[in-house]
Structure 1
Amino acid sequence: MKSILLHIDHDTAMKARLQVALDVARATNGHVTCLQAVSYEVFAPGDFYGSAIAAAMPVIKENAEKLRSQIEAELEHEGVPWDWRFVYGIAPHRLLEASPLADLVILGPAEVGYDGRGPSALVGDVVLKAHAPVLVVPQDAVALDLGAPMLVAWNGSAESAHALRAAVPLLACSCKVTLASITEPSEKSRYDFPSTDGAKYLSRHGIDCEVVEIPRGEANIADTLFAAAQMRECGLLVMGAYGHSRLAELVMGGVTRRMLSAPKLPVLLAH
């Protein structure tokens, strides 16, 4: 991961994802691009003359400058190459514009003003439309040990295959990779790509993996995957995102939505 795009904002996971970005950059000899998008689109009912926007602009700018100064001061002592992009506009749009030349986009699970729980509309937009995989870092992540075990969630879909392929540079650093499928006896399983295909793909990149099938039980799939990752002391979970449409996940719920609601460890997503 030579080009790492890091979203800068005031949300509760900012410190965690900064540390994870540094960990990834050190492990892969990568470069961190800090993207700070500031929007002046402030809406107040009845504010026909824009007085609320005019009053908010100096405060927004001052807070953005404070955050930049704080993070730049930290980066100066980390020994990792980095640059800073300060842009005006809505964060998802600006991140998507920068993503074609990024190997990895690092985001938090929730947006500013939330308590750290998602799912974040920003994450959904970037995962679905970006030209790079997205690493979602929860606020309580202390670091990302790329030498630790990693778990790949496999359901045979094109999305899980995309995620597997995108994660290869990180999986190559791991001491043990597990390719895990959740078995559901009540449903007829259908795999476009069996787990053996995923294992063969990794082997061609010099990565050995253990293929396991995990009974779902009474828990939902997201909780089952997190439990499997935690039991194996994994530092990263890799999975395909939005195998069903995003609208269907919003209305009916889905694995991706539940994963992003309260991630228990960093999750790499690709659609």
Structure 2
Amino acid sequence: MKSILLHIDHDQAMQARLQVALDIARATNGHITCLQAVSYEVFAPGDFYGSAIAAAMPVIKENADNLRAKIEKELEHEGVPFDWRFVYGIAPHRLLEASPLADIVLVGPVEAGSDGQGPSALVGDLVLKSPVPVLVVPKDVRSFDIGAPILVAWNGSSEAAHALRAAVPLLACACKVTLASIAESSDKARFDFPSSEGARYLSRHGIECEIVEIPRGEASIADTLFSAAQVRDCGLMVMGAYGHSRLAELLLGGVTRRMLSDPQMPILLAH
């Protein structure tokens, strides 16, 4: 993946995804495009004349400039080619505009200024609308080994198939690929694409994989998948996102929402 689109913001996972972007760029001889979007669309109740927004503008711009200076200084000593795009507007919109000529978009699980509870609206918008996969990087990640084992969460859906296809460049670098599904008798009939079909697709790209069916047990699907990945020393999980409508996921909960609320490793998502 040679064209890496990196979201720049003040959130807690900024340094983590910067490091992951650098690791991917070094491994693939890639280029990092740093996109920093600043929005002045601040809603202030009763601020009919925009005085609060006007007062906040210099502070917002100064903070953005300071962050840019800090990150550019780091990048200048990394030996990785990069460019910087500073734009005005809402981050999801600007990232989507830039994504058609990217191979992957890197974001954090929560937005700057949030209470730390994911998933963020930014992640949801990008995953549903972006033509390329979205890599969500938690704040505790210190590095990204592109050759580490990868677990693909497989439920036979078209979303899972899209994620598998999007992840091929990374899967081809992994020392081991596991295609894991959660065994639930009530779900077996709904598998559109059995695991064997996913494995056959990967084999055409020269990628061997192990097919694993994991008993459901008492834990949630999200926790079961994370445990399966950790037992196999995986550095990345690949999964299809929002198999149900996003509104249903928001109201009722769902695997995507639960995984992104407390991600325990980088997760590559596609819809």
TM-score for the superposition, normalised by structure 1:
0.98
Q: Deviations over 1:22-57 (max 9, x none)?
A: 111111111100000000111111111111011100
Maintained 8 Å contact 1:8/1:34: yes
Deviation at residue 213 of structure 1 after TM alignment? 0.2
Distance 2:115 2:233 in 1: 26
Equivalent in the alignment of 1:106? 106
Are positions 1:264 and 2:264 aligned together?
yes
Deviation at residue 114 of structure 1 after TM alignment? 2.6
Q: Residue 83 of structure 1: SS of its match in structure 2?
A: strand
Equivalent in the alignment of 2:193? 193
Distance 1:230 1:116 in 2: 23
Maintained 8 Å contact 1:116/1:138: no
Name the aligned partner's letter for residue 137 of structure 1.
Answer: V
Pick closer, same or farther for the CA change 1:189–1:218 going to 2, 3 Å. farther
Equivalent in the alignment of 1:158? 158
Q: What is the 5 A alignment of 1:53-92?
A: 53-92=53-92
Q: Residue 151 of structure 2: SS of its match in structure 1?
A: strand
Are positions 1:31 and 2:31 aligned together?
yes
Divergent runs of 4+, >3 A: 186-189
Distance 2:195 2:105 in 1: 26
Q: Deviations over 1:97-120 (max 9, x none)?
A: 011111100000000113543110
Q: Deviations over 1:220-252 (max 9, x none)?
A: 111110010011110000000001110110111
Q: Work out the percentage of aligned pairs sharing the same amino acid.
A: 81
Equivalent in the alignment of 1:141? 141
Q: Deviations over 1:179-224 (max 9, x none)?
A: 0011013444321111011111111111111000001111111111
Distance 1:186 1:98 in 2: 41
Name the aligned partner's letter for residue 216 of structure 1.
Answer: R
Q: Which runs of 5+ in 1 are unaligned?
A: none
- Total equivalences in the alignment: 271
Are positions 1:207 and 2:207 aligned together?
yes
Distance 1:25 1:216 in 2: 37
Superposition CA RMSD, Å: 0.9
Q: Residue 190 of structure 2: SS of its match in structure 1?
A: coil
Distance 2:147 2:82 in 1: 23
Maintained 8 Å contact 1:13/1:116: no
Distance 1:189 1:219 in 2: 22
Distance 1:71 1:215 in 2: 44
Name the aligned partner's letter for residue 15 of structure 2.
Answer: K
Equivalent in the alignment of 1:170? 170
Equivalent in the alignment of 2:230? 230
